[in-house]
Structure 1
C-alpha cells in the first residue's frame, strides 16, 4: 500500500492556550523559530507524503498564508537587497501540494468533523494519514514518526492504524484507553474506553489521535451520533467502529510525544528540541543556570 496523502486538523480555538490563541492560531504558535504545524509537515514529507490537506477554521487563515507564496514579502526583500532571505521562505511552499478546507460554525464540533469535511480529497485512496495540528511527534535523530507508523502498518498487514502512548496508571482516567487483542505477535484495537474510572482501564495505552484510516470512516461518521454530553463528534468513536469492521493496528511511537496545546507542554517542546540543537543548547544551559532554574 502506497500512502501519499495526509490530513492535518487545525480548526480548533485553542482554549487551553488563551489568551494568546485569541489572535494566534494554536497550530501556529512557534516552537523555537517554526510553528508547531511546520514540524508536522516536515515529518509527513520525510515519510513520502506529497499531498497535505489542512482543515482550518473559516475565520483563521494563518496556516494558509504560511504555506502559500507571499509576493509582497518577496518584492520587499528584493527592494531591500535581501532577496536571499526569501529562499528559506520559498521552501515552505514547495514542501508538498497543500490544500485547504474550511470548517464553518454550522459544522459540528469535534475531532471527526475535519475528517468528514475533507472526504473529497481522500475517498478514492486506499488509506490516508490523520494528524491533529497541535502536537509534535519528535525523534531527536530526525527519523519521521509517520514513516515508522507506515512501516508498522505494512508489517501487520492491517488496513488501518491508531497511535497510543504508555501512561502511568494514575493518569489513565484522563485519556481514551485502548483495549487490545493480540494476533500474530501484533496488537490490534478492540475498543477505546474514554476516560475510564480509576482502576478499570483495560491497558495503559493512551490515545494520541494520530491515525492511518481508510475511506470506510466516511460512512461511519455519516451514521455516527454526536456525543450527548459534549455535543461533539469524536474521531475516537469513529475509529472504535472501524475496529469492529477491519483490523486497526496499535502503534506506540518510538519518539517523544510533545503536546503543544497547553503551556507546560509547549514549554517542554521548546526545551526538548533546543536541547538537541548544538547552536542553542550551550547558551541555553548557561541561561538556565543564571536564573537558578
Structure 2
C-alpha cells in the first residue's frame, strides 16, 4: 500500500509575477480553494494520509492554510456560520501534514530528495503543487503499480509544438494507455522529441530514486532534473507511464490560472455555469 506523498512547493512562481511576489503560487485560488488543496484532497481520497511539503522562503501561507485557526473557528461558530465552519474544519483534517524547507532551489529532483528520510524504503507519490486534474489520477498510478509492481508516472498527449515545455518520453504501449518507458528527454526541441507524450508532474516512485537523484548532475537550466534521475533508474528498474484520460490544469502562468478558474468554476458550481458561458461569450 502506498502511504506517503511528497509535494515540492519551493519555487518562486516567476511566470505569475507580480501575483506571486508575496503569495505562494500554490495558494492562488481556483474557484473557492487554493490550488494545493485540490492536490492534497486527491491524495487523501486515494488513501494517502502522510504528506510532506518541501517548502521554501515565503511559503508560510501553505502551513497556515492546513493548520487549525481557533480564533476564526470560534468566530464562525458564534456567528452561526456553520457551513463555513464545516468547510474549514475539513481542511484541518486532511491527513498528517509535515514540512521541510529546501535550502536552495536546485530543481525538482533536488526537492524530491528532501523527502528521503520521510519516505524511507517505501514506494511513494510525488506531485507538483501547481497542477489540478479533473479526475483523481493518483488512484490510476496506484492501480498500475499494484498490477506491475514498479514506478509509474502520469503522461499526457499534447500537440507536438508544445513538447518543448515538458519532459517527454520514448516508450512502447504494452496495454491500453500504459507505456513501458525506454527513455526520457527534458524539454526537447520539437524536432528532437521522441514522442508527444509528456510527463505531467505526478509520479509513483521507487525509493531507489533517491540514490539516483544523488548521482544526477545538474542538467537543463543548471538544475537537478527528476527526468535525468529517472533515466538512471531505468537502467536498473522498469518504469511505466499511464496516459491520463482527464483534463489537466497546469497553473504555471496567468492564462493557465484564468482558464482553470473558468472551467473548474463551471464544473464545480453548476448554478454559475450558464452565467459563465454567457459572460465569456460576450467579452
Residue 184 of structure 1: how far off its partner (Å): 6.7
The corresponding residue for 2:187 is 195
The corresponding residue for 1:232 is 223
Q: Secondary structure at the match of 1:22?
A: coil
The corresponding residue for 2:16 is 17
The corresponding residue for 1:129 is 125
Q: Distance in 1 between matches of 2:83 and 2:105?
A: 44
Is 1:113 paired with 2:105?
no
Query: TM-score with structure 1 length normalisation?
Result: 0.89
Residue 79 of structure 1: how far off its partner (Å): 4.8
Q: Distance in 2 between matches of 1:12 and 1:174?
A: 17
Residue 200 of structure 1: how far off its partner (Å): 2.8
Q: Secondary structure at the match of 1:249?
A: strand
Q: Secondary structure at the match of 1:112?
A: helix
Aligned residues: 281
Q: Secondary structure at the match of 2:252?
A: coil
Q: Secondary structure at the match of 2:192?
A: coil
The corresponding residue for 2:157 is 166
Question: Retained in 1: the 8 A contact 2:22–2:58?
Answer: no
Residue 129 of structure 1: how far off its partner (Å): 0.5
Q: Distance in 2 between matches of 1:77 and 1:272?
A: 30
Query: TM-score with structure 2 length normalisation?
Result: 0.92
Q: Secondary structure at the match of 2:222?
A: coil
Residue 90 of structure 1: how far off its partner (Å): 1.0
Residue 73 of structure 1: how far off its partner (Å): 1.6
Gaps of 5+ in 1: none
Q: Distance in 2 between matches of 1:121 and 1:252?
A: 28
Question: Retained in 1: the 8 A contact 2:155–2:200?
Answer: yes
Residue 238 of structure 1: how far off its partner (Å): 1.2
Within 5 Å, give how 1:174-185 maps onto structure 2.
174-183=165-174
Gaps of 5+ in 2: none
Q: Distance in 1 between matches of 2:221 and 2:193?
A: 22
Q: Secondary structure at the match of 1:199?
A: helix
Q: Distance in 2 between matches of 1:181 and 1:283?
A: 45
Q: Distance in 1 between matches of 2:188 and 2:280?
A: 39
Q: Distance in 2 between matches of 1:79 and 1:23?
A: 32
The corresponding residue for 2:212 is 220
More moved, 64-73 vs 53-62: 53-62
Q: Report the CA distance shift for 1:219/1:23 in structure 2 as closer, same or farther (over 3 A).
A: same
Question: Retained in 2: the 8 A contact 1:170–1:198?
Answer: yes
The corresponding residue for 2:259 is 268
Residue 174 of structure 1: how far off its partner (Å): 3.0
Question: Retained in 1: the 8 A contact 2:24–2:58?
Answer: no
Q: Distance in 1 between matches of 2:196 and 2:162?
A: 9
Question: Retained in 2: the 8 A contact 1:178–1:207?
Answer: yes
Q: Distance in 2 between matches of 1:287 and 1:278?
A: 14
Q: Deviations over 1:28-71 (max 9, x none)?
A: 00000100001111111111111111111143211100001112
The corresponding residue for 1:101 is 100
